[in-house]
Amino acid sequence: MTTKTGMVVGIGRAHAKAILLGEHTVVHGTPAIAFPLPALPVRALARPAEPGTGSQVPADGHFRFTVGGTDTALSGPRVAAEEALRRWGITDTTVEVVVECGIPLARGLGSSAACAGAAVRAVADLHGLVVESGELYDLVQCGEQVAHGRASGIDASAVLANGPIRFHQGRAEPMPIGLDAALVIADTGVPGSTQHAVAGVRRRLDEDPVRAGSLLERASGLIEAAGDELSAGAAESLGKTMLDFQELLAELGVSTPHIDALVTAALGAGAHGAKLTGAGLGGCVLALTEPASAPGVSAALRRAGAVRTWTVPTRAMHAGATPLSATTSEPGTHQ
Ligand code: PMV
């Protein structure tokens, strides 16, 4: 795009994601199921810059960095964009990237992967290039290794996907949904460190390989069951499967009393099931409910301490246009 002042600007976009089932165990080889949240978007703008321009720490989700110059700040989006320029042989330029992130940071909604995806797309657009999806995934993964330590690739896939996916060992397939229900996402307001959580889970699994094997087998069984329940529209049993997976995540040490309280509140308000989503140790809780019960579940979650909630109707999850309605306990800050 060329602006009114004649400056050439590249634009890239991506969006948030939520993991229905399989976080953490996916790092150790199980499948996982996730869906995109296009209503929580990221936009990145890329333009030519002076080589000396540095990075700016995220404030209100907006941040700036340069690639190809002297900036060496270690952030996932910067590493992904830098690697893109290197692979494309563009070595004689410095590019400034401004990222406008509409996803709450460090809440298990994929902000780091989405910012990296949008940044790479913006840098490609600036140079008149179209990035093929496999290459884009690889580049986002380069950034995710910085953000996560060892990233499974589920975030990189889901933040670029148009509909629900089943992810297994680096491959994403569309996930059929036959469910008429609603998912309520509740933000604990507590930032969680994915890297810290992933390292803690690894320690636990390494401590007891026999127990680790049976836990991962149990996880795989639950994820397969959830896939069948999703396509068959079996909301009640899917809720039960989510609760079983939450128990397993608690055994892995990534739940917290706050998350447990939100799960209990959702069940008390009639949800079929609830669990943490993403890395845990803070972040968000995901509750499955009948569409008519969603407002009550959402209100109960906020009474139990959620700082905001979003509701996603499962019916609308195909077709790449998942609408999202939001409520928050802070008036005037609806997202
Ligand atoms: O970074 P988050 O919170 O969106 O979650 C990532 C999912 C994990 O399974 C915890 C890590 C991974 O790389 O799969």
Q: How far apart are CA 274 and CA 251, in angstroms?
A: 16
CB 186 within 8 A of CB 305: no
Distances (CA, A) of 61 to 41, 53, 106, 204: 11, 20, 11, 33
Query: Residue 327's pLDDT band (boundaries 50, 70, 90)?
Result: very low
> Separation of 144 CA from ligand 1 center, angstroms?
10
Query: Residue 323's pLDDT band (boundaries 50, 70, 90)?
Result: very low
For residue 171, the cross-strand partners are 168
Q: What percent of the chain has pLDDT over 90?
A: 76
Q: Which atom of ligand 1 is nearest to the CA of 25?
A: 9
pLDDT at 326 over 70: no
pLDDT at 171 over 80: yes
Residues contacting residue 80 through CB under 8 Å, at least 6 positions apart: 116, 117, 119, 120, 139, 140, 142, 143
pLDDT score recorded for residue 145: 86
Mean pLDDT in the chain? Answer: 89
Is 76's C-beta closer than 6 angstroms to any atom of ligand 1? no
Q: Give the number of other CB atoms < 10 A from CB of residue 170.
A: 13
Q: Kind and range of the H or E element at 15? A: strand 10-21
Q: Give the number of other CB atoms < 10 A from CB of residue 255.
A: 20
Q: Which atom of ligand 1 is nearest to the CA of 106?
A: 3
Nearest CA among 123, 126, 100 for reference residue 15? 100
DSSP state of 26: G
The torsion angles phi and psi of 169, rounded to 5 degrees, stand at: 45, 55
Q: Catalytic pick from 71, 155, 187, 244?
A: 155
Is 106's C-beta closer than 6 angstroms to any atom of ligand 1? no
Q: Which atom of ligand 1 is nearest to the CA of 194?
A: 1
Please compute Rg for the chain using Cα positions: 20
CB 241 within 8 A of CB 267: no
DSSP state of 29: T
User: In 3-state terms, the chain is what percent helix, strand and coil (to 5)?
Assistant: 40, 25, 35
Q: How far apart are CA 136 and CA 224, in angstroms?
A: 28
Q: Tell me whether strands 182-187 and 32-48 are parallel, antiparallel or unpaired.
A: unpaired
pLDDT at 242 over 50: yes
Query: Residue 1's pLDDT band (boundaries 50, 70, 90)?
Result: low
Using a 10 angstrom Cβ sphere, with 0-12 exposed, 13-18 middle and 19 or more buried, the burial of residue 92 is exposed
Pocket test for ligand 1, best of 109, 152, 254 (most atoms within 8 A of CB): 152
pLDDT at 216 over 70: yes
pLDDT at 278 over 90: yes
pLDDT tens, residue by residue, 104-137: 999 999 999 999 999 999 999 999 999 999 999 9
Is residue 331 helix, strand or coil?
Answer: coil
Pocket test for ligand 1, best of 145, 148, 254, 255 (most atoms within 8 A of CB): 148
Retrieve residue 2's tokens: 């060329």
Higher pLDDT, 188 or 145: 188
Mean pLDDT lowest among 30-39, 73-82, 223-232, 324-333 = 324-333
Residues contacting residue 22 through CB under 8 Å, at least 6 positions apart: 30, 31, 32, 33, 34, 154, 167, 219, 223, 245
**Is 208 one of the catalytic residues?**
no
> Separation of 252 CA from ligand 1 center, angstroms?
14
The whole model's pTM is what?
Answer: 0.90
Is 26's C-beta closer than 6 angstroms to any atom of ligand 1? yes
DSSP state of 250: H
pLDDT score recorded for residue 318: 64
Write the residue with the smallest CA distance to atom 14 of ligand 1: 152
pLDDT score recorded for residue 4: 54
Is 24's C-beta closer than 6 angstroms to any atom of ligand 1? yes
> Separation of 85 CA from ligand 1 center, angstroms?
26
Q: How far apart are CA 303 and CA 287, in angstroms?
A: 15
Amino acid at 25: T
Is 108's C-beta closer than 6 angstroms to any atom of ligand 1? yes
> Separation of 132 CA from ligand 1 center, angstroms?
24
pLDDT score recorded for residue 64: 84
Retrieve residue 32's tokens: 């996982």
Is 110's C-beta closer than 6 angstroms to any atom of ligand 1? yes
Q: Give the number of other CB atoms < 10 A from CB of residue 74.
A: 9
For residue 275, the cross-strand partners are 286
Is 77's C-beta closer than 6 angstroms to any atom of ligand 1? no
Mean pLDDT of 288-300: 97
Helix ranges (DSSP H) in 24-109: 76-87
Mean pLDDT of 55-67: 75
pLDDT at 60 over 90: no
Q: What percent of the chain has pLDDT over 70?
A: 89
